Amino acid sequence: MSHIQRFLKGDEMTRVLWSMIPETLAFAPLGIGIVPYALPSSVDLAEATLEQIKTHDVVMWEKHGTVAVGQDIMDAFDQTDVLCKAANIYMCARSMGSEPDGMTAAQMKEVQDVFKLPKKRPC
> pLDDT of 60-116, one tens digit each?
999 999 999 999 999 999 999 999 999 999 999 999 999 999 999 999 999 999 999
Cα-based angle 47, 82, 76 (whole degrees, multiple of 5):
45
The pTM of the full predicted model, rounded to 2 decimals, is: 0.89
Q: Can you give the CATH number for the domain in which 77 is found? A: 3.40.225.10
Q: Is residue 119 part of a domain?
A: no
Q: Which domain holds residue 95?
A: 5-114
Instruction: Identify the residue with better confidence: 25 or 122.
Output: 25
Q: How far is CA 71 from the centre of its chain?
A: 18
In a domain, 120, yes or no: no
Tally the domains of the chain.
1
pLDDT at 51 (0 to 100): 97
- Using a 10 angstrom Cβ sphere, with 0-12 exposed, 13-18 middle and 19 or more buried, the burial of residue 64 is middle
Confidence of residue 121 (pLDDT cuts 50, 70, 90): low
What is the DSSP-derived secondary structure letter of residue 59? Answer: E
* 99-107: Cβ within 8 A, 24+ apart: 100/19, 100/20, 102/16, 102/19, 102/20, 103/18, 103/19, 103/20, 103/22, 104/19
Q: How confident is the model over 2-13, as pLDDT tens digits?
A: 999 999 998 999
